[in-house]
Structure 1
Amino acid sequence: MALVVAGFVVLDCSEPEKLAAFYKEFLDGEETDATANRVEIQGADGMRMAFRRDVNATPPSWPRPENSLQAHLDFHVDDLDAAERKVISLGGRALEAKDGGGPYEERGYADPSGHSFTLRLEAATAPKQG
């Protein structure tokens, strides 16, 4: 029997209900539990996240060095442009865009509370010959 039965990515924020709503919509998920100081969701793909109230929460300042990167999330998507439109429509904001020079094309964003995350599109590769 496994000792650990569940795992969550937990983000501290001043308004967990609002941040949970952002990620719930972005991940096509559902709320699984909520208390006065914590909201938990599960995305359609099974990803579990929680949002904990911290009235003194300070948003990360990434990419600036002061109070830089507290946590970072990567989301693999099938369509970068469609995912970007959804993020922006839900109140997220763009941080940066990288060119597709490597095996991944990726773009950086911040959620409504300022936590950074990356949308990443895996480049199509040709099947092996032989």
Structure 2
Amino acid sequence: MTVSKSTVLVLDSSDPEPLARFYATLLGGTVEPAAGDPDLLLVSSPTGIVLGIQRDLGQAPPSWPRPEDSQQAHLRILVAPDALDEAEREAITLGARPVAAELDGTRLDRRSAVRRCTDPAGHAFVIAAVPGVPAT
């Protein structure tokens, strides 16, 4: 018998409350403390838990997009193709910072179906246009 499992991506943050509120607002969700762990907040959307934010007083933002560094991991937020620009504006209004990434020395085309950003604590995320994702 396979044990039932669930997973959640957890981001470290020296100040988890504002970061959790950023993602809850961006994803249309809510923030709740994790049972039994006072340093972990869970961001839930109408479809379930989507992200954890954990207090780590020593957390330092990733250095991506420097060419010598890897982004290690990132969130991919999926939106309908016709909602990409609006979703990017919403994220930036909430405190996200757009990332001017380059590939092979060539600046990425703004008409791309992917917009690269960092959250207020410096974690990488992208907003990606995906056909079939319902528009709101």
* Fold agreement, TM-score > 0.5: yes
Residue 12 of structure 1 deviates from its aligned partner by 0.6
* RMSD (CA atoms): 2.4
Question: 1:45/1:59 Cα in 2 relative to 1: closer, same or farther (>3 Å)?
Answer: same
Distance 1:96 1:45 in 2: 32
Distance 1:15 1:70, change over 3 A: farther
Q: Percent identity?
A: 39
Alignment partner, residue 105 of structure 1:
113
Where in structure 1 are there 5+ consecutive unaligned residues?
A: 125-130
User: Could you list the per-position Cα deviations for residues 1-31 of structure 1 after superposition, in whole angstroms to 9, with x for gaps in the alignment?
Assistant: 6524321110011111111000000000012
Distance 1:2 1:32 in 2: 29
Note the 1:88-99 alignment, pairs <5 A.
88-96=92-100, 98-99=108-109
SS at match of 1:62: coil
The answer to whether structure 1 residue 73 and structure 2 residue 81 are counterparts is no
Which residue identity does 1:60 align to in structure 2?
Answer: P
Distance 1:66-1:113 versus aligned 2 partners, 3 A rule? farther
TM-score, normalised via structure 2 length: 0.77
- Deviation digits for residues 20-79 of structure 1 (CA, Å, limit 9, x no counterpart): 000000000012324531111112343521111111101011111566424211111121
Q: Which amino acid aligns with 2:90?
A: K
TM-score (norm 1): 0.80
1:127 corresponds in structure 2 to none
| Separation in 2, partners of 1:100, 1:113 | 24
